Each structure stands twice: as C-alpha cells, then as structure tokens.
C-alpha cells in the first residue's frame, strides 16, 4: 500500500470555513503561491467546514489519489422530521413528521444498519456526472435525473447526542461516501425524513484537526514566502 504523504510544504491541511467552495480554496492557494498546479483531496460543500488537504506542485498533486482514498472522519448534525431538495440546509425543506417520535434505542439501532459496506445513492445535487454533466447542473436546468446507487463503506458511526429532531453523530468512512445522503437515509430508516444541518470534517487519513491551519493564515504565510522567493 502506498504511504499517505505527510504534512509539509507541498501538502497542507487547511481548515476550510463555511462559505467558500473547495475550488475557491484552491484558487486562493494558487494566488498566494503563484503555483498553478494545486489540487485538493476530497470536496467539502460550501456549507461544510473542516480539513481540506491541499497539494501544491505537480509532484504533490500526483499523490492526491492516495489521500482521496484514505479514511475520513466527520461530525454531522442531522435534522430529522423534514426533507431537503439538496439533502442539506441549503435546499428547500418539507416537513415529514413521523407517526411516532423515535427514541434513543431506535436511533442507535438505525445507525448500526449503515455500518459496513452499503449501497448509497448520491444526492441529486452532487458532482456525479450524468452523460458528461454534473448532476447538480442538470437539476438546476430543470431536468429529471436518476442516479444509481453504489457500494460505499462506513467503518463506524457513533451517536454523540440526540434530542428530537436533532441528531449528532461521528462518522468514520472510506472514500466516496456522501454524508448528506447518509443523513437522508438515516431519516428514512427512522420512518421519517432527514437532512444534513451542519458538517465538520475532522480527519483525512493522517491529517487531523490539530494540524489544520485556518485558510486566511496559511494564504498570508504562503503569499509572504512567495514574495521573499521572487525577491531573491
């Protein structure tokens, strides 16, 4: 197995705030360094925050597949009793009250159904390509789409707190898992609906939240280093 590249000058664990896209972060690093070949390992939606591993330079970006395929950890807040067109707080929500509010034992049992290798259908508003175009683009055009389920692996789900309608979990996953889709499916398993209200990615492989640097701080440092290098 190929070793995951350690943190260093060419691999940076940035802490992405809510708001910017992952592409926005890559653009900011490009501008700060003057290096055009910059990539990231694993997209975070604009409403999500947390670790985004960025590779700088051609040699580093070639190793991104190793990091993309590594284990990831998230803290997810799920709002039960309602669905969302985007499966997160960005979409239009519709109330979907259950016949009975599930108790804690029901929640624990439902969560365990998603541990292991499962079939998961990606959110309609996602980057999954259909006939060459991302699903989210086709949805915004008003097209009707149908995404196929695919096998993904969830290593662990830990219940952190639950008080209807709010559920907080810690999730450890393999590559390709949509936490938005997991929130949706957990709601369905509880006889209601659910969507992702908040998400923080706390680990990507060997990169943990303890080593993540805020985006503004790292871009300022990179800009300063680039200016010093160009003045030599």
Measured in degrees and rounded to the nearest 5, phi and psi for residue 53 equal -80, 125
Q: Give the model's pLDDT for residue 223.
A: 60
Q: Give the model's pLDDT for residue 101.
A: 97
Q: Name the pTM for this structure.
A: 0.86
Residue 175 has pLDDT above 60, yes or no: yes
Q: Give the model's pLDDT for residue 43.
A: 86
Residue 57 DSSP SS3: coil
Measured in degrees and rounded to the nearest 5, phi and psi for residue 66 equal -65, -40
How do 166-173 and 194-204 pair as beta strands?
unpaired
pLDDT, mean of residues 57-85: 93
The residue count of the chain comes to 232
Between 20 and 9, the more confident residue is: 20
Q: Residue 2 pairs with which residues in a beta bridge?
A: none
Catalytic residues: 45
**C-beta of residue 79 within 8 angstroms of C-beta of residue 192:** no
CA dist., res. 8 & res. 72, Å (int): 19
Decide: residue 11, CB within 10 A, 0-12 exposed, 13-18 middle, 19+ buried.
buried
DSSP letter for 120, please. Answer: E
Q: pLDDT-based confidence at 2, cuts 50/70/90?
A: very low
Q: Residue 167 pairs with which residues in a beta bridge?
A: 78, 162
* Percentage, residues of the chain above pLDDT 90: 57
The residue among 162, 193, 217 whose CA lies nearest residue 81 is 193
Residue 32 DSSP SS3: helix
Per-residue pLDDT tens digits for 126-141: 666 666 665 556 656 6
* Percentage, residues of the chain above pLDDT 70: 81
Residue 35 has pLDDT above 60, yes or no: yes
Q: Give the model's pLDDT for residue 66.
A: 86
Which tokens in the block code for residue 98? Answer: 């259950």
* Domains located in the chain, CATH noted: 11-69+205-231 (3.30.2350.10), 72-201 (3.30.2350.10)
């Amino acid at each position: 197995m190929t070793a995951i590249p350690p943190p260093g000058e060419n691999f940076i664990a940035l802490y992405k705030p809510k708001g910017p896209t992952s592409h926005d972060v890559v653009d900011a690093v490009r501008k700060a360094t003057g290096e055009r070949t910059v990539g990231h390992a694993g997209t975070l939606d604009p409403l999500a925050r947390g670790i985004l591993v960025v590779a700088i330079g051609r040699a580093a970006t070639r190793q991104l597949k190793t990091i993309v395929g590594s284990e990831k950890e998230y803290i997810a807040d799920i709002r039960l009793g309602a669905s969302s067109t985007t499966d997160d707080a960005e979409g239009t929500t519709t109330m979907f009250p259950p016949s009975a509010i599930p108790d804690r034992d029901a929640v624990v049992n439902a969560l365990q159904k998603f541990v292991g290798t499962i079939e998961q259908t990606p959110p309609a508003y996602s980057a999954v390509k259909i006939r060459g175009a991302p699903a989210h683009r086709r949805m915004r055009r008003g097209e009707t789409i149908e995404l196929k389920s695919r096998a993904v692996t969830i290593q662990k789900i830990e219940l952190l707190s639950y008080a209807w309608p709010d559920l907080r979990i810690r999730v450890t996953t393999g590559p390709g898992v949509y936490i938005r889709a997991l929130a949706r499916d957990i709601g369905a398993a509880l006889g209601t609906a659910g969507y992702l209200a908040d998400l923080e990615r706390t680990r990507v492989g060997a990169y943990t939240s303890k080593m993540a640097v805020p985006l503004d701080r790292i871009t300022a440092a990179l800009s300063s280093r680039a200016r010093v290098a160009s003045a030599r």
